Structure 1
C-alpha cells in the first residue's frame, strides 16, 4: 500500500516537471524553434486545429521559421492565427509560404520572459506540493484505519518529503537552465 502511494507520488511529480519542460519550450529564446508556433490554433473550415495539422513548420535558419500550409486557402487563416497570438510576430507571405522572422530579444524583453519562466516554475512547485499533501493525506487515512503503524506513517512522510525535495530541485534546475538560455546573447 505505502509503496503504491510512493510510486504514484513519484510518477505524478515527474509528470509535473515534464509539464513544466513542455510549457517552457513555448517561451521564446533567441533561437527559432518550431515549438514556438505548433500550439497555435488555426480556424480550419469552422473548427480550430493545431497549426501542425494544417501546415508544415520548419526552421529555415537561426532567426526564422517557414510555414507552408497544405492547402492554398489556409494561408490567410494561418496568418490570422499568428497575428492573433501573443507572439508579437508579423508573418511575411510569398505565395503559399509564410516566413516568420524572429527579431533579437531586447534586455527588457529577456527580463520579462525570465519572470514568466519563474512564474511557471512556481506553478510547478505548487503542483508538486499539492501532490505531497495528497500523498500524506492517503498515508494518514491508512493510519486512521489502523492498516499501518505510526512508525510506518513517519517513515512514509519522510520518504514523500524526499521525493518532493528532489522534484522541486528538478524544477529549479529546469528554470535555471531556461533562464540561462534566455539571458545568453
Structure 2
C-alpha cells in the first residue's frame, strides 16, 4: 500500500510541475518563440482549433513570428484570433503570411509579468503541499485501520516530505529561470 501511495503522490506532483511549466511558457518574454501561439484558438469551420493545426508557425527573426495558413480564407480568422487573445499582440498581414511582431516590454510590464509568474509558481507549490497532506491523511487512516505500523507510517511520511521538498525546489527553479528570462532586455 505504501509504495503505491508514494508512486501516485509522486506522479501527481510531477503533473503539477508540468502544469507550471506549461503555464510559464504562456507568459511571454521580449523574445519571440513559436510556442507562444500554441494556446490561441482559431474558428476553423465552426470548431475552435489551435493555430498550429491550421497554419505553419515559424520565426521570421528574433522578434517576429510568422504564421502561414494552409488555406487562404483562414488569414483573417488567424489575425483576429491572435489580436483577441490575452497576449497583447498586434498581428499584420503581408501577402499570405500573418506577421506577429513582439513589442518591447517596459520595466513596469516586466514587473507585472513577474507577479503573474510568481502567482503561478505559488499555485503549483500549494497543489504539491495539498498532495502531501492527502498522502499523509491516507497514511493516518491506514494506521487507524491497522493496515500499516506507526513506524512504517513515519518512514512513509518522511519519504513524502522529501518528495514534496524536491518538487517544490523544482517549481522554484522554474520560477527563477522565468524571472531571469523576463528581466533580460
TM over 0.5: yes
- Where 2:146 maps in the other structure, the secondary structure is coil
Give the corresponding residue for 2:5. 5
The aligned runs of 1:1-185 (5 Å cut-off) are: 1-185=1-185
| CA shift for structure 1 position 155 | 1.3
Q: Whole-Å Cα distance in 2 between the matches of residues 52 and 126 of structure 1? A: 32
Count of aligned residue pairs for this structure pair:
185
1:56-84: CA deviations, max 9, x gaps?
10011110000011100111110110111
| CA shift for structure 1 position 108 | 0.6
Q: Whole-Å Cα distance in 1 between the matches of residues 51 and 43 of structure 2? A: 9
- Where 2:68 maps in the other structure, the secondary structure is strand
Q: Whole-Å Cα distance in 1 between the matches of residues 16 and 154 of structure 2? A: 25
| CA shift for structure 1 position 130 | 1.2
Runs of 4 or more, structure 1, over 2 Å off, are none
What value does the CA root-mean-square deviation take over the aligned residues?
0.9
Q: Give me the TM-score of the superposition, normalised by structure 2.
A: 0.97
Q: Give me the TM-score of the superposition, normalised by structure 1.
A: 0.97
1:126-156: CA deviations, max 9, x gaps?
1101111111122112111101111111111
Q: Whole-Å Cα distance in 1 between the matches of residues 47 and 10 of structure 2? A: 38
Q: Which runs of 5+ in 2 are unaligned?
A: none
